[in-house]
Structure 1
Amino acid sequence: MMRNLPRIDRHLFFVALLGALLSGSIRSADAQSTPPPSNTSRSDLTIASVEKKIEEIQANQSLADAERAAIVKVLEEAIANLNAAADFDAQTVSLRNDLEKGPAEISQIREELDRRHDGKFPAKTPSPPKDTKEEQVEAVLTAERTRAAEVTQKIRDWDRQLSDLDSLPVTNRERLTEVSRLLSEAEAKSTTQTSKINQSPNEEAAQIDTQATLASLRSEQQMLEQESLSRDLRLDLLEARRDLAQSNLDLARESISELESRTESLMSARISEAEQLLGDQDLEKISHNILVSQLLSETKELALKNQDILSEIGRGETALRGAESELDRVRRDYENIRTQIEIGGLEDSFAQIILELRSDLPEASEFKARNAERRKKISEARLDAYHLSRELDDASTTSDELEKIIASLRVSGIKDEVLERAKSSLTTMLNTRNRLKKDAADGSRKLARQLSEVELVENETLSMADDVRDYLGEKLIWVASSPPMNLASFQDFGSAFAFTFGPKAMRQYREALSNLNFSLWLLFVCVMVALLLPRRRLRHFLAQSALKTRHISSDGIGNTMGALSASVLLSLPLPFALLFLGWAFAADSGGSNAVFAMSKGLMAAILLLFALRLSAFLCRPKGVAEAHFRWSRSLLDACQRSANSLILVYLPPLVLLTAWFNSDNPSLFQGPGRIVFISSMLATSFVLWRLLRLGGGMMTHFESKPSWWFRLRHIWVPLVILIP
């Protein structure tokens, strides 16, 4: 039949036959390579199904106990991943709801704030009537204070969330990169696992865990993307909520102030009543009695004590308002400077604005003396409140005390008609004394609470000021806020070094050190002696440890760890001495700005000094690097020389720069500080050049066996040297 077909038809027939064979082979290969449908897909994988799988594994007696426990642990991790996925999904839904409903809520809050700005405040909680009992007024006052405390906590939480949202773009971008990497790894792992047809229980559990991990990572990825999309809206929403809460807090404080003024008026009225009773003629006739005399004396002391407490509360209220005003000012300045920097509106007056802002920031030294006195008052107020409350709890009833005084008066021969006239005055005096005692206890508690609030607000202010100072120091000072260098930059060197090392500064340093407790000096001397005395033995120990490395029988991890510990101890004395000096200067509550600035400078150099000293000791001849890790001597000589050089050329400028930055004279940092900084960077570049050069540097060690990175040294070595 083939012979009867024309040639072209025969060719077409062979092509069709070849195509059919190829198509059949491809279908056969696909049928063999396609995995069976997995029972652990995303839609079927739930916590309930995994828990059911755990029950099946636990009921499977063919598995060993250890294998069963391992499988159950993997499945429990899968449940944890599914729970995490559910949490991420819930957060995503919440963020989407904010994105949908946020604009309406922001508009509503802004309208309410505008109404309040125009004087249309919401209806206040009605104050108790004038004839209300004092206990009921106290109950309303307590409820208002609780509400104000809750609103204050909300404001602090929102402030923290706003701070987190400021850094959200960077953290989100980093986390998205990490999640994408983990997701690709998990998908590759899942592809490998699903290609297996007959899976063991271990492999099936691993596949379930991988699917749960994929679910968690995908949910987290969606949540992170939604966070990025809704960031600006959430910022506006949180700011609106915070502004509304601040307005509510102001209203609550007004209500609290009104109620407190009522209680203070009652306290003042009782003080006046006590003063009138002290001049009662009937009581004066029996004042020679010991019990009556004690009652009159105690009442008089309590009246004076309550007057002092009212005065302290008034001063505390003023201090609290001042602290809150300072916190609002720092927060407002921080927000304004960030906003102006973002929109680029500070081209001409940038330097002056930055300098003024830095000079206006509060310093910790300003609050130290006040904080010490305030903590003392808080302790005394709490102790007074405790003792007065105990006295009230342990005291006898008014009727019992009255009977005791009357009996004492009868024994002393006082006539009955005099006793009858004095009885009502004694009863009033006893009730007034007890009430004054309760007022003193309540006033002491209020004073302690008020002073604690002042300290809390001041600490928050200092924390905010540190954030502003770090922001300016890290991102702005060296770039845009520095004026052009001129001759004045060199002329300020005298005043800069006089501020740090002049006679006045040295006298202030001595005064700060002399203010330290003798026990602290004794502790410092003991620690320094403990670090310095065994140095010869430690060097001998390092030499012996190096000898042990020559023999396998005497060398080991313990020998290396001992040598490392000895190197650390040899490196500690100088950093510890600087740490003590920096701490001593920082602890001087009455110290000057020079003392505070020097404490900051010393603290900034301690960790780097310790790292460089330790590096130098590790690279010493027969040290840890040479004896234990077999590093080349030529390489170690270059590293040790560079570490010692950096101690001399970088650490002193670091101390000076940090001290001048924290001084109250910004020109020290702007002029001499920049020159010292440039000089130290040039010196650091020279040290790096000596370290990385071929003749005598660390590159000499790698010259005999060059690699690709050694051949590219002409590219990366100049870049490293130019980093400073």
Structure 2
Amino acid sequence: MIQTSDLAKCGVWLLLLAWLTLGASPPRPASAATTLPGTPTPTEIEARIKQAQSLKGLDEAARTALIDDYRRAAAALDAAAEYAAKAGAFTRALEEAPNQAAEIRKQVAAGQDDVKAAVPGPVGLSSEELEQQLAKTRTETAAAEARIGELDKAIDGAAARTSEARGRVADLRQLLEQLDTDAQAPAPPNQSPEATQAAAWVLATRRQALTAESRALEQELASQSARDELYRAQREQQALNLRRVKERQTQLQEVQDQRRKREAEQARRETEDAQRAAVNKHPLVQDAANENAKLTGTLGELAGQLDQFAELLAQTERERKRIESDFRGARERIDVAGVNQALGQVLIDRRQDLPDLRKFRKEIAARNDRIAEATLSQIRFREEQRALRDLDAVLTEMAAANPAAQTDEVRDELAQLLEKRRALIDKALAGTDAYIRKQGEINDAAEQLIQSAADYDAFLAQNLLWVRSTDPLSFKSLSALPGAAAWLLSPRGWMEALRVLGYESLHSPLPGVGGLAVLLLLWKQGAIKRAILATAEPLRRVRTDRFGYTLEAIGLTLVAALPVPLTILLLGHALSASIEATSFTRAIGNGLTKVSLGLYFLRAFRLTCLPGGVADRHFRWESDVLKKIRRHLRWFTPFIVVSSLIAYALYLNRDSVNSDSLGRLVLIGAMLGTAVFLGTLLNPRSGVLARLLAAHPDDWANRLRNLWYAIIVGAPLALGLLAGLGFLYTAGTLFESLVQSAWLALGLVMLQQVIVRWLVYTRRDLALQAAMERQSTRRAAAASAGGRGAARDGEATDAPPPVEEPEPDLAILDEQTRKLLHASIFILAVLGLWWLWSPTLPALNIFRKIVLWHSATTVDGAQQLVPVTAADAGLVVVILSVALIAAKNLPALIEILLLRRSSVNAGTRYAVRTLVSYAITAIAILTAFGALGLRWSQVQWLVAGMSVGIGFGLQEIVANFISGIIILFERPVRVGDTVTIGGVTGIVTKIEIRATTIRNWDRQELIVPNKEFITGRLLNWTLTDQLNRIVITVGIEYGSDARLALTLLTETAAANPRVLKDPPPLATLEAFGDNALTLVLRCYLETMEIRQGVTTEMHLAIEQAFREHGIGIAFPQREINISARDTIDVRLHRVEPVDHQPPPGP
């Protein structure tokens, strides 16, 4: 919507243009603005700029700063001259505008009575001249309407411009005081004389510019009333001119339509005569006559449609002008007196009278289709017109194709008919051009109507939501309850409803067809419910489960919920849309139509929660949760439907007494009932979410359960209080949006459950396929082993073990899809809430009127104070909230998308995710600062001071932060790398702002500052690839076959499938030890994760191979020398084994 300040500015420039066109007095010279002492002239400034460019002894930075100061001074002088010219124009307006307005009104009064007499009649104009005159009048009409629109904008924006100018005058006083203070401040001690003088000139010229602007604004305010009168007089003059042009256009259009009708009628008669004359003639003559007859019928249809288009265009223009007139009147009233209760009720009625814009958009689309069809017809006509330019060639071709048509008689008759067809085609082309043009004009008018209605609706939405629409609830309003109840229960009204239903059942096929559909659905209710239960049986086993059963059950549930809502919808349509409808039946019918959709949602949700239904068997909801939902829906459904029907009927009847009494009480009751329903059902301790919250104690939903529960229950209660205080329209509008938001939330929950059900089915199906493949592999291996005659159980066969195909990692798949699902649901929720609440959002503009503080900014070289409002503060809250959610979810979504590319490893994904999170946070902070009026030019000194403080006090933290950024970009380490730093080896699990986390093999987490990775020594085992080497040292006994041992080591390594063949394993004899021959086996692995497992496998395999080949693994041997003075008697005694036999019996 166009801002009123912009409109006022357009009016100012329009007045200045009027001075030039109406021969205003010559302007005063620009020097009329007082030149302050010490202010330079433009010539002096230009000379100093040239001097500075050639001045020696200045560095380049100082020279640039000096020239910039001179140029700022020159720009300020130009601004002062411009403001002085404006002040002069406003002064002349104050003196001359009253006389000019009076003169214009005299001319208007003299020309009011001779509008039609002054328009010459279009007598004797040819068709071409008539079309040219019409095109000229259309251009003049558009120009006159544009001029009237500019004048309307200037008139409508006058009040806002006055307020803006007064505020700017106050701001200028503060800026001038600040300039005076700056001028008295001493110059910096090290500043050059040239820079000092340039700074003084900047202050002086800036002061002159602000002074001139202040004078111009004062003259603008003084001449405001005189200029407004002139604008209104000029509008009256332009309106008179428009009436004259319109009258001329109407006369020309009538003449053209009448002439087109006469020509079409004449062509029809001539064509019919030609058809009758060609009855017994040659077939080619008959075909040509028939083609002419068809084309004549097309011309007649075009003429009739063009007449209808003229009326439709006039009707659309009238509706647009009515809306724009109402819009201007409402805006003027609100600008003058604000929105009060009486005006608020009037504007509410006006908003209800606004046309349905969806209807106009559909009509525009249909007309565009007809324009496309007419364009194709036009192309065909032109092709035929080109073909008929040479009639002799056409006749010759026709005679060659049909020898019987070569006679002179047939040729002459065909020539006459083709000549007639050529004339008809010319008229058809002209008619099609007019058809396309008229359709386009109607579309343009409809587009303008839609824009005007949308602007008007946004304006009303902005102002109506905060105004009291009726008196607070009192005994006086309650005294109208009997009358409202009598109207609602009136026997006469219900007899009218029965009469309307009877009439519709006899004269409209819809009730009959709809009634048959309802009876069919009621007859099949039992079969549908049995079919829903039957879809749950195959879900018991994995082999018979199919996701299609869930979709089938949902579809059947939606069909089963149809009968009662469809019946209510049919009754409502019949009562409201019938030509026999009365005000009572329309109110009841519209109420039934509105509640039918909500009833359908409630019934569908209740059927979803039935035992054996979709929520029970397909979504696996707990049975006690479903019982609670069914129990509360049993009383809430009839309660909310009946109360909503009564409230809608009383409100739509347009009787404020009934809607303010009984309607308000019923609406408050509906809000209280909704609060009870939601409070009972969603109670964090005893509601349907209790177990879910208890299962996730650390989740934000559980931590904030008291907050969101208070909001959910308190919102309907607060709206009921608003309705009781007289804000009935506000409460009703917000309550309807809340109900729609609840349906959106329920729909998203159902969608999420359907997707989860698909994920579970997919996971189970993948697991089943993997299990079947493993079983098939085992059977094939067993059969192969049996065929080769495996000798012993538990021993491996000579054949190598089968290589298993990699299975899908179901846990990772589920985690990825879960993140993507949450992000998708969040995006859908944001879009849905924006769509639902968009009609209400304009009302938030009222917070722009609450100014918190002012922020100084420079616009076009001039310093201005920009207000920071409560709306800006709210925008900051929204920005930070969205950024918090986005920083948490968007990087994960990006990681999922990158995960689909096999070339992107985990470290790259983590780096991208972290950097995106940092970027979102930085952008959000900068945007929030900008919304609060904090710009870089204002906070750079603060940032500089903080930088110094950080350099001394937080240098370690900053160093670690910068090192973290370097790590993410340079990537010496990545998440998932195996590193050794400070004697600790482990896997990098997290890289955060200050430190990096390493988890060692004992599952201990080491927090290492990021600076250590940049400035210290680091061993990264997996920087370029995951390839690594294990070294196995074995000692064998002296006397063993060393060559055989080396061969066994190499064969053992080659037999392990997880040991790489390239580079090949290497076994070497490293040393002759004290007790053993030292052998070393070196082999390479593909990843670090399998290092410990392969090491164990290799140790076991080497021990078994050495044992089978009689090679002993050495153990330490020690010689003991015993020294003693006396001889030690050493004896070797062999002990025979004792035969343990049972003792003899008694």
- TM bucket normalised to smaller: 0.5 to 0.7
Deviations 1:24-57 (A, max 9, x none): xxxxxxxxxxxxxxxx956853444433332322
Compute the displacement of 1:179 (Å): 1.5
Q: Whose strand proportion is higher, 1 or 2? A: 2
1:224 to 217, 224, 227: 217
Contact 1:88 1:219 in 2 (8 A): yes
CA 1:623/1:432 → structure 2, altered by over 3 Å: closer, same or farther? same
Residue in 2 aligned with 1:189?
Answer: 182
Q: Which has the higher contact order (CA 8 A, sep 6+)?
A: 1
Q: Tell whether the 8 Å contact from 1:323 to 1:458 is kept in structure 2 after alignment.
A: no
The equivalent of 2:439 in structure 1 is: 447
| Structure 2 residue 71 is the aligned partner of structure 1 residue 82 | no
Runs of 5+ consecutive residues of structure 1 not aligned to the other structure: 1-39, 515-591, 602-620, 625-636, 669-724
Q: 2:66 aligns with which of 67, 71, 80?
A: 71
Q: d(CA) in 1 for partners of 2:475 and 2:709?
A: 33
Structure 2 residue identity aligned to 1:75? Y
- Shift, 1:359, TM fit: 1.4
Residue correspondence of structure 1 range 162-561 to structure 2 within 5 A: 162-192=155-185, 199-279=192-272, 280-281=274-275, 282=277, 285-286=281-282, 288=284, 292=288, 295-296=291-292, 299-300=295-296, 302-324=298-320, 326-327=322-323, 330-331=326-327, 333-334=329-330, 337=333, 355-363=345-353, 366-384=355-373, 386-387=375-376, 390-391=379-380, 396-397=385-386, 400=389, 402-411=391-400, 412=402, 413-414=404-405, 415-464=407-456, 466-467=458-459, 470-471=462-463, 474=466, 477=468, 482=471, 485-486=474-475, 488=477, 505-509=594-598
* One-letter code aligned to 1:319: Q
Whole-Å separation in 2 of the counterparts to 1:656 and 1:387:
61
Report the Cα distance in structure 2 between the residues aligned to 1:86 and 1:195, rounded to whole angstroms.
31
Q: Residue type matched to 1:359 in 2?
A: D
CA displacement 1:99-155 (0-9 Å, x = unmatched): 1111112212222333344x144974645541x332222222212111111111112
Say if 2:351 and 2:457, in contact at 8 Å, map to a contact too: yes
Q: Taking structure 1 as reference, are residues 233 and 384 closer, same or farther at Cα in structure 2, changes over 3 Å only? A: farther
Q: How does 1:625-640 map to 2 (within 5 A)?
A: none
Q: Which of 718, 722, 730 in structure 2 is aligned with 1:653?
A: 718
The match for 2:53 is 58
Residue-by-residue CA offset, 1:239-290 (whole Å, 9 max, x unaligned): 2222221222122111111112222223223322331243114555356469
Pairs within 5 Å for 1:605-684: 649=714, 653=718, 660-661=728-729
Query: 1:75: Cα distance to partner?
Result: 3.1
Tell me the SS of whatever aligns to 1:400. coil
Larger Rg belongs to: 2
Give the drift of 1:323: 0.8
What SS does the corresponding residue of 2:40 show, helix, strand or coil? Answer: coil
Code of the aligned partner of 2:137: E
The structure 2 residue matched to 1:103, chosen from 66, 78, 98, is 98
- One-letter code aligned to 1:254: E
Q: Distance in 2 between matches of 1:247 and 1:662?
A: 42
Cα–Cα, structure 1 residues 410 and 211, in superposed 2: closer, same or farther, change >3 Å? same
| CA spacing shift, 1:657–1:313, aligned 2, 3 Å | farther
In the alignment, the residues of structure 1 paired with residue 285 and residue 731 of structure 2 have an alpha-carbon distance, to the nearest angstrom, of 66
Question: 1: CA distance between counterparts of 2:602 and 2:444?
Answer: 30
Deviation at 1:309, TM superposition (A): 3.0
Letter in 1 for 2:242: L
Cα distance in 2 for residues equivalent to 1:216 and 1:63: 30
Report Cα offsets for 1:474-510 as digits up to 9, x if no partner.
Answer: 5x647xx647833535987999xx99xx986443447
Give 1:268's aligned amino acid.
K
Q: What is the rounded CA distance, in whole Å, between the counterparts of 1:512 and 1:82 in structure 2?
A: 69
C-alpha spacing 1:664/1:651, structure 2 compared with 1 (3 Å): closer
Conservation of the 8 A alpha-carbon contact between 1:144 and 1:255: yes
Q: Hey, what's the Cα distance between the residues in 2 that align with 1:302 and 1:41?
A: 79
Q: Larger % of helix: which?
A: 1
* In structure 2, C-alpha distance between the alignment counterparts of 1:316 and 1:266, rounded to whole Å: 20
Q: Decide whether the 8 Å contact of 2:90 with 2:223 is kept in 1.
A: yes
Work out the CA distance in 2 between the residues paired with 1:179 and 1:314: 55
- Distance change in 2, residues 1:63/1:642 (3 Å): farther
The answer to whether the 8 A contact 2:257-2:307 is kept is no
Contact 1:151-1:249 at 8 Å conserved across structures: yes
Q: What is residue 883 of structure 2 aligned with on the other side?
A: none
Structure 2: distance between partners of 1:650 and 1:460: 34
From the superposition, tell whether residues 49 and 461 of structure 1 become closer, same or farther in structure 2 (CA, over 3 Å).
Answer: farther
Change (3 A) 1:503 1:255: closer
Flag the 1:134–1:420 CA change in 2: closer, same or farther, 3 A: same
Alpha-carbon separation, structure 2, partners of 1:508 and 1:208? 72
Query: What amino acid is aligned across from residue 653 of structure 1 in structure 2?
Result: A
Q: Which amino acid aligns with 2:312?
A: G
| Separation of aligned partners in 2, 1:165 and 1:428 | 62
Count matched residues.
499
After TM superposition, the structure 1 stretch with the greater mean CA deviation from structure 2, 283-292 or 431-440, is 283-292
Answer whether contact 1:155 1:245 (CA < 8 A) is retained: yes
Task: Give the deviation of 1:461 after TM superposition.
Answer: 4.3
* 1:507 maps to amino acid: S
Mapped contact 1:81–1:212 kept (Cα < 8 A): yes
Matched to 2:718, the amino acid is P
Report deviation, 1:623: 12
Give me the whole-angstrom Cα distance separating, in 2, the residues matched to 1:431 and 1:651. Answer: 72
Equivalent position of 1:94 in the other structure? 89
Q: Quote the offset at 1:193 in angstroms.
A: 6.3
Maintained 8 Å contact 1:385/1:442 = no
Distance 1:98 1:399, change over 3 A: same
In structure 2, the partner of 1:152 is 145
State the distance in 2 between where 1:76 and 1:390 align: 61
Residue in 2 aligned with 1:112?
107
Instruction: State the secondary structure of the residue aligned to 1:310.
Output: helix
Q: Separation in 2 of the partners of 1:213 and 1:339?
A: 34
What is the CA-CA distance between 1:181 and the residue it aligns to? 1.1
Change beyond 3 A, Cα 1:92–1:79: same
Give, in whole Å, the separation in 2 of the partners of 1:190 and 1:622.
61
Aligned partner of residue 62 in structure 1, secondary structure: coil
Distance 2:247 2:202 in 1: 57
Q: Distance in 1 between matches of 2:287 and 2:435?
A: 27
Instruction: Return the offset for 1:460.
Output: 1.8
Distance in 1, matches of 2:375 and 2:67, equals 56
CA distance in 1, matches of 2:382, 2:231: 47
1:292–1:79 distance in 2 versus 1, CA, 3 Å: farther
Looking at structure 2, the residues matched to 510 and 88 of structure 1 have their Cα atoms a distance apart, in angstroms, of: 65
Whole-Å separation in 2 of the counterparts to 1:340 and 1:174: 18
